[in-house]
A and B are shown apart, each in its own frame.
Chain A
Amino acid sequence: MWNVELTGANFNGRIVQEEFGGSVDDSCWFPGSSIASQAGSGMNTQWLVRSDNTLTGHGPYAGNDGDWVGWLEDSVSYYRGVTGPEYRAPCDYNLTQNMKINRPGSSEVVYRSGNVLWGGIDQFTVWSIRAGPFAARNW
């Protein structure tokens, strides 16, 4: 999970919402895979900007203090072939994300377009990228 912090001004109390940016590719998925494609996972989380400019889940998304990029552990096992029929790893998925923020008294605006969310599975590691920053761990 990635913690997100806005910069450039204080946006305390504003609402941020993600939307699908129009591009998705899941190289782990194959026809017949029991794991669904990441293409259908949905993307419409809303966050409230805290006084320190970090994001916390808003409304129906309460409890989400960040942005998830990656796989659940069962999917990692499946694509490594531990429990599944096919050894797919190393493989990855990536999709694009637009970020919007509301403006009091005006219409909302897209402040970031085409963020790349990228999650991958290697033989011994899993990794995640959100709009540039990279993180990996042994798993």
Chain B
Amino acid sequence: MRSIDWLEACRISTVAGSVMALTCLGAAATQARARVQVSDPRPLAAVILELETRHGRVVTYEDPVRVHTTDIADITSTVPPARRARPTIVIPKGGHFTFEYDPPSDQSDNSTTGMLQTLVRQFNLTSADAQFRVMRTGETYHVLPAASRDISGVRRTSVSPLDTIISIPDGTRTGLEQLWEIRSALRESGFATFSLGIVPMTALRGHLDGVVRKESARNAIVRVLNSSQHKLSYAMNCDAGPMPTCVLNIHPLTAPTK
């Protein structure tokens, strides 16, 4: 009952899909606490999307590989037989996650870093599934997989496809053309089904110097995003199961700011 009382003291707004955002003022609290509550196959990604909207900072997300039976959900029965391309259809199991935090007092890097480290720490404590870490390149913050369970349930260090070191020849390209080059480089490096998903094509028509010399695919992607006159972020989602298809989705945070 206590939790209900507390919830009633909060301002509740449905943000999108399964995300419920609550801004709470506890009865005895002097500082507003913020809260994001999600139920999603990728709960951490859902929270990050909400934090980007609230605080206007680019925070990217990369999925771990999920193969252990307790980390994946079989949704075959929910798909009409005529639509099944495979005998079994699995997605990340995910679940509920609630992030409570003190909103950053300002737009400083320390405040943002602190908020994200708190997020990852809270998530890792509650997650029996994957573990994550925070990294920063320039103005872009990344939440990256640190570990996930293998097929036998043993937690192993997790490496993202975007850690792959790639090279791309010289050439002036649009942002979209450069993303196709990065995709090709990753496919040639062993990620045979790495794909581009939803991309704001009109925001990626500006040109950039496309050469990449032995850099991580992540850095190459960040350079594409930074070449745009829009504030762009990405989420790289991976299917569940061994040798998953990983998909790069790019989304705008706001209208043009530069």
Query: A residues engaging B (CB < 8 A)?
Result: 30-42, 44-45, 57, 59-64, 68, 72, 74-75, 77-78, 80-88
Closest to B41 in A: A32
Task: Compute how far the CA of A80 lies from the CA of B85 in the bound complex, rounded to whole angstroms.
Answer: 8
Q: Which of B94, B203, B246 contacts A42 (CB 8 A)?
A: B203
Q: What are 26 A-B contacts defined by CB distance under 8 Å?
A: A32-B41, A32-B75, A34-B238, A34-B247, A35-B247, A36-B197, A36-B198, A36-B235, A36-B237, A36-B249, A37-B198, A38-B198, A39-B16, A41-B251, A60-B229, A60-B256, A61-B202, A61-B205, A64-B202, A74-B196, A75-B195, A75-B198, A78-B247, A82-B85, A85-B91, A86-B84
Say yes or no: is B73 at the interface (Cβ < 8 Å to chain A): yes
Say yes or no: is B201 at the interface (Cβ < 8 Å to chain A): yes
Q: Which of A32, A35, A57 contacts B198 (CB 8 A)?
A: A35
Closest to B236 in A: A34
Task: Compute how far the CA of A32 lies from the CA of B255 in the bound complex, rounded to whole angstroms.
Answer: 28
Interface of A, helix, strand, loop or mixed by DSSP? loop
Task: Compute how far the CA of A5 lies from the CA of B256 in the bound complex, rounded to whole angstroms.
Answer: 24
Task: Compute how far the CA of A40 lies from the CA of B17 in the bound complex, rounded to whole angstroms.
Answer: 11
Once A32-B94, A35-B197 are accepted as A-B contacts, the answer to whether A87 and B83 lie under 8 Å apart by CB is: yes
Beta-carbon contact of B86 and A62 below 8 Å:
no
Once A37-B198, A41-B198, A75-B197 are accepted as A-B contacts, the answer to whether A31 and B91 lie under 8 Å apart by CB is: yes
Task: Compute how far the CA of A12 lies from the CA of B13 in the bound complex, rounded to whole angstroms.
Answer: 43
Interface of B, helix, strand, loop or mixed by DSSP? loop
Say yes or no: is B206 at the interface (Cβ < 8 Å to chain A): yes
Beta-carbon contact of A57 and B202 below 8 Å:
yes
Once A32-B92, A34-B238, A34-B246 are accepted as A-B contacts, the answer to whether A83 and B193 lie under 8 Å apart by CB is: yes
Q: Which residues of B contact A87 (CB under 8 A)?
A: 79, 83-86
Say yes or no: is B120 at the interface (Cβ < 8 Å to chain A): no
Beta-carbon contact of A86 and B251 below 8 Å:
no
Say yes or no: is B112 at the interface (Cβ < 8 Å to chain A): no
Say yes or no: is B146 at the interface (Cβ < 8 Å to chain A): no
Q: Which residues of B contact A33 (CB under 8 A)?
A: 91, 237
Say yes or no: is B218 at the interface (Cβ < 8 Å to chain A): no
Beta-carbon contact of B41 and A31 below 8 Å:
yes
- Chain B positions 184 through 202: 1 when the CB is less than 8 Å from some CB of chain A, otherwise 0: 0000000001011111111
Question: B190 CB to closest chain A CB, in angstroms?
Answer: 15
Beta-carbon contact of A84 and B196 below 8 Å:
no
Closest to B230 in A: A60
Question: A77 CB to closest chain B CB, in angstroms?
Answer: 7
CB-CB contacts below 8 Å: B207-251 with A:
207, 228-230, 235, 237-241, 244-247, 249, 251
Closest to B49 in A: A40
Beta-carbon contact of A77 and B195 below 8 Å:
yes
Question: A41 CB to closest chain B CB, in angstroms?
Answer: 5
Task: Compute how far the CA of A8 lies from the CA of B63 in the bound complex, rounded to whole angstroms.
Answer: 51
Beta-carbon contact of A63 and B249 below 8 Å:
no
Q: Which residues of A contact B197 (CB under 8 A)?
A: 34-36, 72, 74-75, 78
Say yes or no: is B2 at the interface (Cβ < 8 Å to chain A): no
